Amino acid sequence: MSKLILKEFINSKINTELKRISFQLYQSKYGKYDISRESPTKIFYKIIKEDSLEFLINTLPYITSETTRNRIFIESNDDIRICDRMQIFSSIDLEEYRRLLNVNLNDYGIDIKGEEELVKSNSYEFNIKLDINDYSEFGSKVNLVGMFEGDCSNIIWIDQEWDFISILDVDGIRNDIDVPSWCEYLIDGCLDIYRKNNKMAFFNLFAALDNLINVIHEGIFEYYLNMCIRCGIQEVFKEKIRCFSNKTKNLNLKLTDVMKELKLDIKDFETLKSWKKYSEVRDKIAHGGTYEDKHDINEVAYTIIMLIYSLILQKNVEKTEWEDILEF
């Protein structure tokens, strides 16, 4: 009945191996974090508050990062017979994705045999400029807009004679990847922050933690039930089963019981003081109350991500300076 055996059992229920994150990645991107001056905990606090979605992209194993090559068709509402400059647009349906977290246009142009690179211009005949207009985070569609300069009649033979290609760098959730409910809620919550929908962000972030706590709570119950079957009914098992069979406990009590069982010292979690204030707001939203946007939603996101990652790793990530996540 050692903690190690329980730890392994709970790990099998969570079934999530977090990816390690390169500190150099953030150094090269932001250039403002100095590990010699600040602790990893303080740096991660800033990183997650600044862009929680990117942090999830870099650490959650269920998010796919890949480069896609897509044939697209250029369209325009302008009259190609009378113009030498027109607005163009196109769209791409990345139907293999159900969530698009980040999309960048890596390259685009005409795929001409013998040319090493995609062609965006042809001497003085035409010049094509494209960029991403928007994309559906909760879907799969990417919309492109741009300008076609030159003899606009060329646009007809481009689609007829050649393949016009767009190359996208995509971070998202593929349809063929099974993602735990807590993880989808967490991702959706951070997407809601990006979309400035703080009410839904608040609700989804708490739903993520709520779901993960329930997974672990039920896992602990199952573990001690199995121990009774294997080792016989003992008083210590009966007490654990009685505690963890109660599914109607409120979230705070479940969290307390789970952390105690995983040997996580609640007194070491300074952010739990804020958590209790946040949970009152969450309860109000869940019961149809009015959401008051009086808390820093990025602070809420940090608190919940920190708790979720601590539960997954079964250690206080702040006290251990995120050692299981950070890679130098």
Domain boundary among 174, 202, 223: 174
Residues of the chain where predicted confidence (pLDDT) is lower than 50:
1
Do 214 and 297 fall within a single domain? yes
pLDDT at residue 2 in the model? 52
Per-residue pLDDT of 219-257, as tens digits, reads 999 999 998 888 877 878 889 999 999 888 888 899 999
> Which of 174, 189, 223 corresponds to the end of one domain?
174
Residues 206 and 270 in one domain: yes
Of the residues 174, 198, 214, the one at which a domain ends: 174
pLDDT of residue 24: 75
Structural domain tally of the chain? 2
Q: Are residues 13 and 105 in the same domain?
A: no
Q: What is the pLDDT, as a whole number, of residue 1?
A: 47
Residue 186 sits in the same domain as residue 47:
yes
pLDDT at 23: 76
Domain match, 156 and 206 both: no
Residue 141 and residue 225 in one domain: no
Same domain, residue pair 18 and 138: no
Orientation angle between helical segments 297-313 and 52-59, nearest 10 degrees: 20
pLDDT at residue number 48: 93
Residues 167 and 95 in one domain: yes
DSSP string, 207-276: HHHHHHHHHHHHHHHHHHHHHHHHH---HHHHHHHHHHT-TTS-HHHHHHHHHHHTT--GGG-TTHHHHH
Domain encompassing residue 16: 3-62+179-327
74 touches 159 (CB < 8 A): yes
Q: What pLDDT, on a 0 to 100 scale, did the predictor assign at position 284? A: 77
Is the CB of residue 191 less than 8 Å from the CB of residue 207? Answer: no
Same domain, 193 and 292: yes
Whether 77 and 49 map to the same domain: the answer is no
> Quick one: pLDDT at residue 29?
67
User: Are 54 and 70 within one domain?
Assistant: no
Residues 269 and 143 in one domain: no
Got the DSSP string for 115-151? -SS-BSEETTTEEEEEEEEEE-TTSSEEEEEEEEEE-
pLDDT, residue 61, reads 96
Query: What would the pLDDT profile of 203-226 be if each residue is shown by its tens digit?
Result: 999 999 999 999 999 999 999 999
pTM of the model: 0.90
